[in-house]
Amino acid sequence: MIEQKTRVLIVDDDREIGSILHDFLSRSYDCIAVTSAADALAALASAPFDLIMSDISMPQMSGLEMIPHIATLAPESVVVMISGQRMIESAIEAMRAGAFDYITKPFELTQVDAVVRRALDYRKQRDGRSRATRCDAEKRRLAQALNNHDFIVHYQPQVEIPSLKIVGAEALVRWEDRERGMLLPSDFIPLAEDTGLIVPIGAAVLQTACAQARQWHQMGLADFCVAVNVSPKQLQEDNFLKTVAQALDDAGLEPEFLEIEVTETSLMQNPEIGIQTLTTLRAMGVKIAIDDFGTGYSSLGYLKRLPIDSVKLDASFVKDATSDPDDAALVMAIITLAHNLRLKVTAEGIETQDQLAFLRLLRCDRGQGYFFGRPGISDEMTSGKNKIKLDFDCRPSEPLNKDTTQHRNLAQAAYRN
């Protein structure tokens, strides 16, 4: 990652002082010099600055008057005042108003250098402290949410593409936070992973999803499968197999109706343990899918060795498959490869009828996406809300030829039609 240079804003109506400071500080920092408070506030409104060095006395708005505006516009910045005379009173006034430090005119550049470094060090420590405090508070909230049962599971329908029948659902966790409303996995899964809380959260999701699948079966949806996401920490954890067996047992669900989704990256973290765990799960009858397939780094040979039943083609490929010939060719290659390895393919993120038509043509097995239904509470799966409306002819797909140029022509023809 390229680290961004520290940004310094210099404000002094005396152009000469401003220019001396600018030339000197530009050796180490990314500096901008302006000659009025109005220009300074405009600069702060358009870009962040780490440090603001401002003259105390300026016509129109003084440096001191500027401080409350800085606190609103750029609360993360640290302020150093330049005082016109050696007067302790103005220095105290500046600090009281919120400046971190001050320099007095005439100044030595070494003094400027020392003050700027001190102010930036302070800023770094302050930011580190507040980040750590925020993180601690968030960890406590996460643990509390688990105790309060604030995690709920939404379900998104999965459709068998040839028959367009809903054959199951993916369980997707949400956090119903009393203050912030409903939070999505991207808001809390990374922290849950870091703190290890993903293990009990994941176990709760497994329990809920298995119980839900059993309930669907009892309602007459006999072959409904439920897919549950499992994170790297869960997969490597000693008790994971027991947790899965317990969830199935408590729900009275046959293992074949549970699918575990793992990502390539999560398997890569400790392939031996991961593969062993998946092999045991599969021997129990649980299905295994590789999630977000195509975004990781698996070699094709590696895919062959994995104990899996299906791959979930990542939504990023589906998105442009009907407009970009390269993506169309990729989708086609992945589906063909998976089928050659006797794996099923579920396409993620299907949003349009065109995308569905294209995937049908390529004999993609299953699909999931807003086109069929958004994730929702379990009732939405059975209320008929996810009925699929189509206005295209459900003719069988064309046979595929393995030649890649023909594949590409076929792909292009498919999305032109």
Binding region for Mg ion (CB under 5 A)? 229, 261, 291-292, 348
Judged by CB under 6 A, the number of residues near ligand C2E is 25
- Choice from 45, 184, 377, 394 touching ligand C2E (CB under 6 A): 184
120 binds ligand C2E, rule: CB under 6 A: no
Q: Containing H/E element for 89?
A: helix 88-97
The distance of closest approach from Cβ of residue 187 to Mg ion in the complex, given in angstroms and rounded to an integer, is 17
DSSP labels for 2-40?
Answer: PPPPPEEEEE-S-HHHHHHHHHHHTTTSEEEEESSHHHH
The distance of closest approach from Cβ of residue 134 to Mg ion in the complex, given in angstroms and rounded to an integer, is 28
Identity of the residue, 290 or 329, whose beta carbon is nearer to ligand C2E in the bound complex: 290
Identity of the residue, 152 or 303, whose beta carbon is nearer to ligand C2E in the bound complex: 152
Short-list 267, 202, 281, CA closest to 236: 267
Short-list 269, 181, 169, CA closest to 209: 169
Identity of the residue, 162 or 185, whose beta carbon is nearer to ligand C2E in the bound complex: 185
Verify cis geometry, omega within 30 degrees of 0, for the bond prior to 75: no
Return the one option of ligand C2E, Mg ion, none that residue 375 interacts with (CB less than 5 to 8 A, by type): ligand C2E
Q: Containing H/E element for 303?
A: helix 300-305
291 binds ligand C2E, rule: CB under 6 A: yes
Identity of the residue, 55 or 170, whose beta carbon is nearer to Mg ion in the bound complex: 170
* Contacts for 89 with CB less than 8 Å, ≥ 6 apart: none
Say how far apart CA 115 and CA 113 lie, in whole Å.
6
Contact between 10 and 34 under an 8 Å Cβ cutoff? The reply is: yes
Say how far apart CA 17 and CA 11 lie, in whole Å.
9
Identity of the residue, 248 or 350, whose beta carbon is nearer to ligand C2E in the bound complex: 350
Say how far apart CA 376 and CA 78 lie, in whole Å.
46
Identity of the residue, 90 or 158, whose beta carbon is nearer to ligand C2E in the bound complex: 158
207 binds ligand C2E, rule: CB under 6 A: no
Identity of the residue, 112 or 203, whose beta carbon is nearer to ligand C2E in the bound complex: 203
Return the one option of Mg ion, ligand C2E, none that residue 231 interacts with (CB less than 5 to 8 A, by type): ligand C2E
Q: State which amino acid sits at residue 221.
A: L
Percent composition of the chain: helix, strand, coil (DSSP 3-state, to 5): 50, 20, 30
Interacting positions 300-339 with ligand C2E (CB under 6 A): 315
Residues β-bridged to residue 154: 172
Identity of the residue, 4 or 186, whose beta carbon is nearer to ligand C2E in the bound complex: 186
Dihedral of the alpha carbons of 405, 407, 409, 411, in degrees to the nearest 10? -150
- Choice from 150, 177, 351, 354 touching ligand C2E (CB under 6 A): 351
Return the one option of ligand C2E, Mg ion, none that residue 205 interacts with (CB less than 5 to 8 A, by type): ligand C2E
* Contacts for 199 with CB less than 8 Å, ≥ 6 apart: 233, 234, 237
349 binds ligand C2E, rule: CB under 6 A: yes
For residue 84 the two structure tokens come to 């016109």
Interacting positions 208-247 with ligand C2E (CB under 6 A): 229-231
283 binds ligand C2E, rule: CB under 6 A: no
Identity of the residue, 67 or 331, whose beta carbon is nearer to ligand C2E in the bound complex: 331
Return the one option of Mg ion, ligand C2E, none that residue 172 interacts with (CB less than 5 to 8 A, by type): ligand C2E
| Contact characters 365-384, ligand C2E, x per CB under 6 A | ---xxx----x---------
Cβ neighbours around 117 below 10 Å, total: 11
| Contact characters 4-23, ligand C2E, x per CB under 6 A | --------------------
Say how far apart CA 26 and CA 24 lie, in whole Å.
6
Instruction: Phi first, then psi: give them for residue 128, nearest 5 degrees.
Output: -60, -45
Say how far apart CA 221 and CA 253 lie, in whole Å.
13
Q: Which residues contact ligand C2E (rule: CB under 6 A)?
A: 156, 172-173, 184-186, 189, 198, 202, 205, 229-231, 261, 291-292, 315, 348-351, 368-370, 375
